[in-house]
Structure 1
């Protein structure tokens, strides 16, 4: 294999030059490949769609994690649903005020696979004393648990197949129930430049689930086809998305980050005019 061609969209393709295939398994359910690339480090793709690369994963994980934790300002209990590669867990651990991170992943095999083939993503996070890893269906956990959280991070696949349940009004309602007063939930909402419907329906379902304030922000992840990833931000406290950069900087931003800054945090909530017209804000 000389090139990997992503097939997420029928009218748009991207290719990544392959240096070496490290793992490739085609089963009756899925096609899973891990390869070393010429430009993007180690690449994980599922059913022809890039899931993560070691060269730019930090953008997605830093923005998905540090934005809600620093916007909240006092988070102690964090829940990650999905995220079996360990990138979100790695970032959440960096916050000294966070006492525990509960990770709910449906497939233990995903965690073990990523620890073997993408070890830099978790970087030992699964063995950290702050981590509580639960192997369970995320939607079922959200419906049944009595635990409460300051921040919920939904690091899911796209809304097709098994991941579709994590994009429903019912699931968002269960997440709202799990949040402590003043809590915030963040989700991935796809690339609105290519598929604005995904952002539109996730936002409308989060509003229908009862959140008082629903909005979105952006992260520029080059290998997520189309570039600009939308991340949902839902809370019952509208002030959380309006925290200024000076206040964010005073909340112990972890050192050594490669993308997130308080200024990027604030700017990420600015929405282009065409998207405001499409989504309504």
Structure 2
């Protein structure tokens, strides 16, 4: 494997991705060829697998949790919908690339904290150009709180520092901003990574359930039974979610069969878990409540 080390000035070869280790603003990223998929690539950020992308087919999603998200959205939005999607967490822009292919009228913004990583991803992969897909460099919470009310139909939060989402992106104050930015009928979707005790998932479910009338959870049965570390998808909306028999069948038929829990089950799962609060987050990450926000004074990208 060729490796590119030690210099931000190292150029990315023309003609697509090349295996190697590259310096980025937050450390390093490594691009690894998928040994089992001819046109597949794995992006690792600071030693942790972050994204998988197939350069020949944007609809191939190797990460199961991404398939679960797209199946949830498919049951909520028609394919000709003019989706306005906000992705908090960029990586290789796998999810945004998928939505661009399956929702051709979509307009998307991907928020990525690492500017150098955003440049590399643009160079490596065939991403749609603005206005179909824009990459905005910034911190997820700062960007979210700057956006105008009711300007997004989908918000996907998929941000991790090593193996956990920063607390400031999980709190009830952050979730209220997500709801404020969503248009009526919109969906807020989070990828929650957790251990077998499911403490994070319970608290995130309680937090999202305190802000949205309707919630849903998707995960594989072993995860829901507390048998392993993994991903749990939790979503909230002002409309019912996850009650489609088609969704349940598709989830069970995947490579990793998953279950869907609708609102009553999610709230039972959350139980008396404490809602996540900004008091648990670093002071420098706190932002005003939605009521104190001057909506629209910042960019609405």
TM range, smaller chain: 0.5 to 0.7
> Could you state the TM-score of these two structures normalised by the residue count of structure 2?
0.62
What is the CA–CA distance in structure 1 between the aligned matches of 2:34 and 2:126, rounded to whole Å?
Answer: 24
Q: Aligned pair in 2 of structure 1 residues 97, 159: CA closer, same or farther (>3 Å)?
A: same
Aligned to 1:22: 20
Please state how far the C-alpha of 1:87 moved relative to its aligned partner: 0.3
Q: Aligned pair in 2 of structure 1 residues 279, 39: CA closer, same or farther (>3 Å)?
A: farther
Contact 1:85 1:114 in 2 (8 A): yes
Aligned to 1:279: 270
What is the CA–CA distance in structure 2 between the aligned matches of 1:211 and 1:110, rounded to whole Å?
Answer: 33
Aligned to 2:158: 155
After superposition, the C-alpha distances for 1:170-199 in whole angstroms (9 at most, x for unaligned) are 11110000111111111101145x351121
Within a 5 Å distance, the mapping from 1:108-257 to structure 2 comes to 108-115=115-122, 119=124, 123-127=125-129, 129-146=131-148, 148-158=151-161, 163-192=166-195, 194-208=196-210, 210-218=211-219, 226=228, 228-238=230-240, 240-245=241-246
What is the CA–CA distance in structure 2 between the aligned matches of 1:90 and 1:178, rounded to whole Å?
Answer: 22
Structure with greater helix share of residues:
1
State the number of aligned residues: 235
Please state how far the C-alpha of 1:217 moved relative to its aligned partner: 0.6
Structure 1 segments unaligned to the other structure (5+ residues): 2-19, 221-225, 249-259
Residue 57 of structure 1 is aligned with which of 45, 48, 62? 62
SS at match of 1:57: coil
SS at match of 1:94: helix
Please state how far the C-alpha of 1:42 moved relative to its aligned partner: 4.3
Structure 2 segments unaligned to the other structure (5+ residues): 2-17, 55-60, 222-227, 273-301
What is the CA–CA distance in structure 1 between the aligned matches of 2:162 and 2:74, rounded to whole Å?
Answer: 25
Contact 2:23 2:29 in 1 (8 A): yes
Please state how far the C-alpha of 1:98 moved relative to its aligned partner: 3.8
Within a 5 Å distance, the mapping from 1:37-116 to structure 2 comes to 42-54=41-53, 57-73=62-78, 74=81, 76-96=83-103, 98-115=105-122
Q: Aligned pair in 2 of structure 1 residues 236, 275: CA closer, same or farther (>3 Å)?
A: closer
Please state how far the C-alpha of 1:237 moved relative to its aligned partner: 1.2
> Could you state the TM-score of these two structures normalised by the residue count of structure 1?
0.66
SS at match of 2:178: helix
What is the CA–CA distance in structure 1 between the aligned matches of 2:180 and 2:267, rounded to whole Å?
Answer: 28
After superposition, the C-alpha distances for 1:187-235 in whole angstroms (9 at most, x for unaligned) are 101145x351121121122123x21122311269xxxxx5752111111
What is the CA–CA distance in structure 2 between the aligned matches of 1:84 and 1:37, rounded to whole Å?
Answer: 16
Contact 1:78 1:102 in 2 (8 A): yes
SS at match of 1:172: helix
What is the CA–CA distance in structure 1 between the aligned matches of 2:100 and 2:252, rounded to whole Å?
Answer: 22
What is the CA–CA distance in structure 1 between the aligned matches of 2:243 and 2:127, rounded to whole Å?
Answer: 30
After superposition, the C-alpha distances for 1:1-51 in whole angstroms (9 at most, x for unaligned) are 9xxxxxxxxxxxxxxxxxx97216699x64644444756864433444332
What is the CA–CA distance in structure 2 between the aligned matches of 1:54 and 1:186, rounded to whole Å?
Answer: 21
